[in-house]
Structure 1
Amino acid sequence: MSVDTSRTIIVLRHAKADWPSVPDHERPLADRGRKDAPNSGRWLAVAGVVPDLTLCSTAARTRETWKLFAHELPERPRTVYEDRLYEAAPGQLIEVLHELPEEVRTVLLVGHNPGVQGLAEIVSGDSEGDALARLRASGFPTSAVALIDFAGPWKGLEPGVGRLRAFYTPKDGA
């Protein structure tokens, strides 16, 4: 593939989690999260963006979010559960994306804040309309989805190279 190959990163923050007496990694979704995750999946399906690959944190809440979200997609992409996404900082997320095979054009990353918000803000040099301003103002709520486009190889992903095409939050669909 050429170095100007267009790529899309779909950034999904896990849905609203519950706070039972379990370790953080094992927290399940709350009822609101179980409602919001499929709504976000339907939004992506309507947007017509189909991931080639999903990278999902191994935390229970991200796995459950992905299962509910994926059920709404026209086809389920190959999924890799990645320990390094749990509590990852933006730089760590970029390092994981640098490792993607070049044949992957669109990746969906299911992770946690503040890492996913930081990734979206750092990589997005500009945006369609007010998408970047809305992302910054909202703080990337649970079940939010950011679509970021950039051109080049995965190893070329760095601050400011992307364009935030769209930003969806559950409140947008309410």
Structure 2
Amino acid sequence: MTCTLILTRHAKSAWDTSVPSDHARPLNKRGRRSAPAIADWLRGNGHVPDQVISSSSRRTRETFELMELGVPAAFTERLYHANSDILFKVLCQAEKPRVMLIGHNPGIAAFAHSIVATPPDHSRFDDYPTGATLVAEFDIGNWKDLSWSSGKAIDFAVPRELLGE
């Protein structure tokens, strides 16, 4: 049996707003185009999650909502600017075999590098831009059995390429 991780950085957020905090920053126009593009790519490649665990920030919530994946999501403060260790712990508590985590850099990029045995052959994997999404498979029957560097990178995409920008 395998478990599949879909690791998504939130779509592009706005910086030119008067919101009271970083946590409250919304997506910008490009981000609102990018989230559905990533979702279409996921659906088109058979990578739809069974469970979504996301940061509680406004931009991660908007990213999830615009994806319209038709699965429930849990929004947690724990993933707001989480580091690799926290992402690992949250994933180990997942209950479904196909899990999407939505979060922020630099934690998402560091976690992506640490969780797969070999990175995907993609020029943007190292910097993990907004909306970047990794799909990785793990030869485990339960997320509790997850170990570092054990994933096989199956796919990787960034919205700008999908949108032809």
Letter in 2 for 1:148: A
Does residue 163 of the first structure (1) align with residue 152 of the second (2)?
yes
1:135 corresponds to which of 95, 108, 125: 125
Letter in 2 for 1:119: F
Secondary structure at 2:105 match in 1:
coil
2:36 corresponds to which of 35, 38, 52: 38
What percent identity do the matched residue pairs reach?
A: 38
Q: Is the 8 A contact 1:120 1:148 kept in 2?
A: no
Secondary structure at 1:135 match in 2:
coil
Give 1:56 shift. 1.1
**Cα RMSD (Å):** 1.4
Letter in 2 for 1:31: K
Structure 1 residues 127 and 87: alpha-carbon distance in aligned structure 2, compared to 1, 3 A threshold: closer
Query: How far apart, in 1, do the equivalents of 2:90 and 2:23 lie?
Result: 20
Q: Which runs of 5+ in 2 are unaligned?
A: none
Q: Is the 8 A contact 1:123 1:157 kept in 2?
A: no
1:100 corresponds to which of 91, 94, 102: 94
Partner of 1:10: 6
For 1:35-75, what per-residue CA distance to the aligned partner results, in whole angstroms no more than 9, with x for missing partners? 11111111101011121100011100000010011x2x4xx
Q: TM-score, normalised by structure 1?
A: 0.87
Runs of 4+ in 1 over 3 A off after TM superposition: none
Give 1:134 shift. 4.5
Q: TM-score, normalised by structure 2?
A: 0.91
Secondary structure at 1:118 match in 2:
helix
Q: How does 1:70-109 map to 2 (within 5 A)?
A: 71=68, 73=69, 76-101=70-95, 104-109=96-101
Q: Which runs of 5+ in 1 are unaligned?
A: none
Q: Is the 8 A contact 2:7 2:108 kept in 1?
A: yes
Letter in 2 for 1:17: S
Give 1:78 shift. 1.8
Query: How far apart, in 1, do the equivalents of 2:124 and 2:129 lie?
Result: 11
Letter in 1 for 2:143: W
